[in-house]
């Protein structure tokens, strides 16, 4: 009774002071505090939840303890699904690395003469990519995993880069957003959980200028082209990057990841323009053989 009277008298200042430890200790002895905590736990275990929020709200038969037990099961279900998805995403990432490793064979001494063969072998590896993409789309529904898109966006960007690089090497064309998504077996529908967004597609394209003119691709490939008598490909690479830069400048970017990545593109373009001697040599060697400032699309 003494504890109940003290609890009734001190309940208002107790809560108004946000359960400060000093007030709690001042009003109750250690034994009384233990009794109050135990009573509060028993009281909460018997409280019911409100089933609806509104003018016609009714109390549910579910207790607070039962409700939080249900919440725990929901969290465990999400974590279990997340662990399963992580395994599939790791498989997808390994596929992308294998494809990219195959494309690096272009830099080998015999890579230029086997360019189409290397691209065909890399293209065949996308069968497993499409299989994994279908599995992810079927197993994960929209809203099942919070921020699911952040778990795989970088992988799709790298796959877009690989696909567009193959298309350039084989056909000297650029894959459109829809064709690129279809070739990966990924939907562009915003109601699908595993999907390709326009931003991911554009970020994947912006990886091309960083790869094509760099010392890891363009310079080595250009030297191999000249050594083997192929004087068209270096100029086509230069033409492709300049046209891509011109097209991206027509877009109105906000100050986000896409904008920051596009700002880096000017350095990639400058790298191409610094190769003036080779460009002049190729231009004089191939007058009129390459149409400049024209970017063909695969649609």
Which residue, chain included where needed, has tokens 């593109």?
265
Sign of the torsion formed by the C-alpha atoms of 75, 81, 87 and 90: negative
C-alpha torsion 45→46→51→54, nearest 10: -110
Three-state SS for 175? strand
* Number of Cβ atoms within 10 Å of the Cβ of 95: 21
Q: What is the CA radius of gyration of the chain?
A: 31
* Two structure tokens written together for 256: 């986000």
* Two structure tokens written together for 5: 């009277």
Closest CA to 235 of 248, 224, 222, 249: 222
Is 79 part of any known ligand binding site?
no
* Two structure tokens written together for 89: 């995403």
- Specify the long-range contacts of residues 145-151, CB closer than 8 Å, at least 24 apart: 145/78, 145/81, 145/82, 145/85, 145/193, 146/78, 148/85, 148/193, 148/194, 149/195, 149/197, 151/85, 151/86, 151/89
CA distances from 106 to 61, 118, 148, 183, 243 (A): 68, 7, 35, 22, 23
Binding residues: 211
Please enumerate, by residue number, every residue annotated as part of a binding site for Mg(2+). 211
């Amino acid at each position: 009774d003494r504890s109940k009277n003290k609890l009734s008298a001190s309940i208002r200042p107790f809560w108004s002071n946000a359960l400060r430890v000093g007030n709690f200790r001042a009003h109750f002895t250690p034994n009384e505090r233990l009794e109050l905590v135990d009573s509060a736990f028993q009281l909460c275990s018997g409280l019911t939840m409100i089933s609806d929020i509104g003018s016609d709200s009714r109390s549910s038969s579910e207790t607070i303890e039962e409700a939080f037990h249900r919440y725990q099961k929901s969290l465990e279900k999400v974590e279990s699904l997340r662990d399963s998805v992580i395994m599939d995403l790791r498989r997808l990432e390994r596929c992308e690395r294998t494809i990219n490793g195959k494309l690096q064979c272009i830099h080998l001494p015999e890579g230029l003469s086997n360019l189409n063969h290397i691209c065909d072998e890399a293209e065949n590896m996308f069968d497993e990519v499409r299989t994994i993409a279908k599995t992810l789309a079927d197993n994960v529904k929209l809203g099942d995993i919070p921020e699911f898109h952040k778990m795989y966006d970088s992988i799709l960007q790298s796959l877009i880069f690989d696909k567009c690089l193959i298309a350039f090497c084989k056909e000297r064309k650029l894959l459109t957003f829809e064709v690129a998504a279809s070739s990966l077996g990924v939907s562009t529908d915003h109601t699908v959980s595993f999907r390709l967004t326009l931003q991911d597609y554009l970020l994947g394209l912006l990886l091309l200028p960083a790869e094509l003119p760099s010392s890891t691709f363009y310079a080595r490939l250009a030297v191999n082209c000249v050594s083997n008598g192929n004087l068209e490909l270096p100029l086509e690479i230069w033409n492709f990057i300049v046209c891509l830069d011109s097209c991206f400048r027509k877009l109105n970017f906000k100050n986000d990841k896409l904008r920051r990545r596009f700002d880096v593109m000017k350095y990639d373009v400058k790298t191409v323009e610094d190769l003036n001697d080779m460009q002049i040599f190729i231009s004089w060697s191939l007058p009129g053989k390459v149409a400049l400032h024209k970017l063909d699309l695969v649609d």
